[in-house]
Amino acid sequence: MTIIITFCVLLLVAYLFDLTSSKTKIPSVILLLLLGWVVRQVTDLLFIDLPDFSMVLPILGTIGLILIVLEGSLELELNESKVSLIKKSSLGAFLPVVTMAIILAYLFHYYGGYDFKASLCSAIPFCVISSSIAIPSVRNLSSEKREFVTYESSLSDIFGVIFFNFVLYNTDFGAATFGFFLLQMLIIIVVSFLATLLLSFLLNKIDHHIKFVPIILLIILIYEISKMYHLPALLFILIFGLSINNFDELKRFKWSERFRPDSLTKEVEKFKELNIEAAFVVRSLFFLLFGYLLETSEILNPDTVIWALVIVLIIYSLRAIQLYLSKIPLMPLLFVAPRGLITILLFLSLDPILKIPLVNKSLIIQVIVLSTVFMMLGSLLTTKKQELQKEKEEKKAKEANEIEVSKL
């Protein structure tokens, strides 16, 4: 009973963090990690014996990953006007992941003397932008910038996980390996197409008062089965979310009438709301538990600070180059490159044989905190600049009015 009360209180506090983050500019992930860590200190101080939650973390992370990518894909619109944005965000998601992974792998290999494959597997978790942190953090930006961050961070999650699994499950990287990978991509696209048709039909046809939970369970089931066969399962989540959110674009085809597009659009809106709330609960529990499982010595480990700073420097250097080449204004998007849930989840997924001593919990948490703090500072600086610009415009308008009055 005490555990249930504690979790309810903690989730309510997490909701409070989410409500106030847009005003305080403090990302909720930092507060959640801090809250989880404080709970751990209190339980240790009062000698309260709690169950071992370490086994729950990967499960929550996987479900959170599915719901977060689905949440992002359900926000995206596909039409001709979005082609340029999709190209920029796709390149912005793919190139930094691959480039940074190779740079970090060489650094780990050269300075640490570790095996290159192990170094590459350990490097990839640091290369993925966390959509669970980035998307909620840009609510106050223009719609174009919000869409860019949503596309970029969602695709970064997908590219990062696919790249990680590709390196993890292959021993060599010849033509046969790439050919088999393309075959896997083709299989998951076909599976995604068939599954999307089935799930869309069910979403529209089920009249029972419980209809959205079975859909989510089927999505998780298809994801896990695809993952068992080493297929890029996150691609299915993206295709499904994009398809049902943009089904109205298919109204010109007669066969789409069988799915009753107008009715489906209403159901998708309800499904979207449920998914957002479910993603909030799972994401909050994940970061709370991760904060709870952290040791103080891991957070303040001086041995990894230099590496954490080097990794963060690489993150923002590559991001500045990427935005410049894409002809996108640096501010405030330069700072929107946080690491978070995917970084932790990929780190936990590493095979013990491929783990290198340098990449540990300390380094992971320090990079996450530093990148999130940078994002917070960037948000504060941008807000301050916007306020100053607004004040200047108001002052000019006032002066112009005074001149007009004096003329009269």
Domains in the chain (CATH in brackets) are 57-292+303-407 (1.20.1530)
Query: What pLDDT is recorded for position 382?
Result: 67
> What distance in Å separates the CA atoms of residue 408 and residue 396, rounded to the nearest whole number?
19
Question: Residue 256's pLDDT is what?
Answer: 57
pTM: predicted TM-score of the whole model, two decimal places? 0.81
DSSP character at residue 360:
S
Closest CA to 346 of 359, 358, 336, 330: 359
Structure tokens at 58: 């990967």
Give the pLDDT mean for 13-42.
82
Query: Distance between CA atoms of 297 and 330, rounded to whole angstroms?
Result: 36
| Per-residue model confidence (pLDDT) at position 130 | 85
Q: How far is 267 from 270, CA to CA, in rounded Å?
A: 5
User: How far, in Å, are 120, 182, 232, 333 from residue 175 at the CA level?
Assistant: 20, 11, 19, 37
Q: How many residues does the chain have?
A: 408
Q: What is the DSSP letter of 248?
A: G
Reported as a single tens digit per residue, the pLDDT across 129-174 is: 888 788 777 777 777 778 788 888 888 888 888 888 888 887 777 7
Q: Given a cut of 60, is residue 384 above it in pLDDT? A: no
3-state secondary structure of 139: coil
Least confident span in 82-86, 293-297, 390-394: 390-394
Which of 180-184, 221-225, 324-328, 404-408 is predicted with the least confidence, judged by mean pLDDT? 404-408
Indicate if the pLDDT at residue 292 is higher than 90: no
Give pLDDT, residue 259. 60
% of the chain residues with pLDDT over 70? 88
- How far is Cα 267 from Cα 325, in angstroms, rounded to an integer? 40
Distance of CA 103 to the CA centre of its chain: 22
Tell me the Ramachandran region of residue 360: left when phi exceeds 0, alpha when psi lies from -120 to 50, beta otherwise: beta
